[in-house]
Amino acid sequence: MAEPTKPLVVITGASHGIGAALAEAFGREGHPLLLTSRHMEAGTEGTVMRAALDVIDYAALEAAIRAAEARFGPVDCLVNNAGFIHIGPLAARDPADMAYEADVLFKGVLNGVHAVLGGMQARKRGTIINISSAGDRIPGPQGEVYHAAKAAVRSLAGSLQKGEAANNIRVMNIAPGLVKTNIHANMGMPFEEYYEMLGRPEFIEAAELADIILYAYRLPQRICIRDLFVMPTSSSLG
């Protein structure tokens, strides 16, 4: 098997939606990949390694990253994409469910960053891309935990970029509007009901967002798109 000529990219939450589209985009470019998800069959095929894990389990995430690095070389890009949203009145939610959502959306990002940051500092190179949301600056009703966690992710990216600028490490916050994924299934409703509930808006295709993120990554290392708010032209939000 030929050695990969491009550096390793790690994508969390890669079993569907934005994560799967990112895997397709970076794979087309010839990058070896570590793809993680709770709902993924573990294994390695060619230059793609898959790991079934939860990003809140730091030991499992770090072990998967170290295994991928042993096979493909150091991580050049981490995409923190894992996440979900639960919509409903805050007073009616289970506190344990809220805590888990916050853990995945924020602590999972911290875990990913911590697992790759030391190596990037030593090499004086690396890119960390956090998939946030338009909700990190335009919060909506009945998604309080999600929007608060995404605001924390945005703040983390800004702070981390300032701290790691001297190490030539790029930190990017990507904040898309509504992306067409299967997120509605996690909310227990068909797409049409979800679409009507939101007021029949225009959606961004996951592949479109993946191409935007790949473009940002492919820019010279000295250029960092620090905070990118991506919305359909037809949207009046923001």
By annotation, the residues acting in catalysis are 146
- Report strand pairing: 43-45 vs 48-52: antiparallel
Cβ pair 1, 46 in contact under 8 A: yes
Cα 128 → chain centroid: 10
The residue to which tokens 């990969």 are assigned: 4
Q: Which segments of 69-166 are extended strands (E)?
A: 75-80, 126-131
Instruction: Give dist(CA 53, CA 42) in Å, integer.
Output: 9
Closest CA to 22 of 189, 176, 184, 192: 176
Q: H or E stretch including 156?
A: helix 144-164
Instruction: Give dist(CA 159, CA 228) in Å, integer.
Output: 16
Rounded to 5°, angle at Cα 189 from 135 and 151: 15
Q: H or E stretch including 34?
A: strand 33-37
Q: Six-digit token pair at 168?
A: 């030539």
Instruction: Give dist(CA 138, CA 26) in Å, integer.
Output: 29
Bridge partners, 37 (sequence order): 52
